Amino acid sequence: MENAMRAISPADLKQTGPCTWDIPRSFRNDMRATARLFADQPMLDHLFGERALEQLVNMTTLPGVQEPALAMPDIHQGYGFPIGGVAAIRADEGVISPGGVGYDINCGVRLLASEVSHGEIRDRLPALATQIQRDVPTGVGRAGRITLDEHAMDLVLNTGLRWAIGAGHGDEADAEVVEERGCLAAANANTVPDRAKKRGADQLGTLGAGNHFLELQRVERIYDQECGRAFGLFEGQVTVLIHTGSRGLGHQTCTEYVRRMDVTMANYGITLPDRELSCAPFHSPEGQDYFHAMAAAANFAWCNRQVITHEVRDAWKRVLGSNQPLAIVYDVSHNIAKLEEHRGVPCIVHRKGATRAFGPGHPELPERYRTTGQPVFIPGSMGTASYVLAGTETAMRESFGSACHGAGRELSRHKAKKTISYDQLRASLRLAGIEVRAGSARGLIEEAPEAYKAVDEVVDVTAQIGIARKVARLRPIAIIKG
């Protein structure tokens, strides 16, 4: 165990590519795979002051982990896995770990594309932002307009987007461009804890707090014209980015399964360096129950983003008097574990703060994206920019079909509150021409641009490695937060 506790120094990393660094299995005697990090030198230097690299190494101790365990350029300290961690674990002999998914199961991002330019709605933007804030509840514990009884809750958990479409919150065109069509077939509502269901009963259609947001943006630049056309994007266009997940339901589900696995892990002879990695064999009763519950919580999250989409569309029509559509470009999860085949091996791919980035030709992609690769969305911090990328064949070979999910935190929420001025933040956003609708000063400060890494650098590293390619850059014009 003394070896397992040894701190990681710059000398322990071996550079194997321009932005690729390995911590070899020889670093610790409990490692089962190489730990690989995608980062440039400045990103790397920052990591030695926190636990993220230690958490990356700890990922390699999980039974069944495949070579290598990965961290994306937006890596920072998380629970169990670092945020930005990706681990493919053999389904036949490996484990599943709630800490490899996270508390906000299927936290993800959805991009909507309008048919209008920024100039056409600039004067009505304040009214639009205010209406969306009224219609989409934000903040901790805020209830939505829908309250699910036990039967309806089970339908949401088991059928995902099918429930939302049946309830009039979308149509088949929406389902076509949602990852997994918005429904994981493994879902089983009976495995979701009762307390989780109660917490989620009134939370469909709510944004929540923390780093969740709803942002109106303009397409500032198209890097790949062909891909941009396939995604339905053009320069000057107004888009809407929705970032939220499974709310209290997902958090409670993770909490209870972490506790359960913490108690039963020893029964399977599993010893790990960090109890936050508590896990169970994938094919064990505990492993299967969590997998089914996680899938159900993921379905809840897709329904949540769909109901929010419906509310945004209604606000758009009321304020702009327009029946022009807000079409979904795509919807991706970045906190999930999915059964996929990589290198001929069925694996449970844990993506914790990482986005699926399947390349061209993959059979699971919608037909319209078979030639381009999957849309990948990389939100920046409010006030900077967000990116649209496309998955690549390199990602399929090098990162288990994965890319990063955002800019990645650089300051903790506590430090952000101590160092960032609310008045100066509001003034800087106003000077940039960004409408802000926030439920609290604290929530705004915690998510200030200064608290995050530079998204341009994160995306540049991602593109340089080749696991996703740039398609478009989006600038915020209005921000709605809890």
Q: Are 386 and 241 in contact (CB under 8 A)?
A: yes
Neighbours of 323 (CB within 10 A): 8
Give the start-end residues of each E strand in 18-101: 20-23, 35-38, 69-76, 83-90, 95-96
Cα 151 to Cα 174: distance, rounded to the nearest angstrom: 24
Name the catalytic one among 251, 334, 350, 405: 405
Cα 264 to Cα 169: distance, rounded to the nearest angstrom: 41
Helix axis angle, 285-320 to 247-264, nearest 10°: 170
All residues at 6 or more sequence positions from 468 whose CB lies less than 8 Å from its CB, including other chains: 357, 373, 376, 389, 390, 391, 392, 395, 403, 462
Give the closest residue to 243 by CA, choosing from 213, 210, 206, 215: 213
- Name the burial class of residue 282, with classes exposed (0-12), middle (13-18) and buried (19+) by CB atoms within 10 angstroms of its CB: buried
Q: What is the biggest distance separating any 2 CA atoms in the chain, rounded to whole angstroms?
A: 66
Question: What SS3 state is found at 192?
Answer: coil
Is 414 one of the annotated active-site residues of the chain?
Answer: no
Amino acid residing at 358: F
Just list the catalytic residues. 405
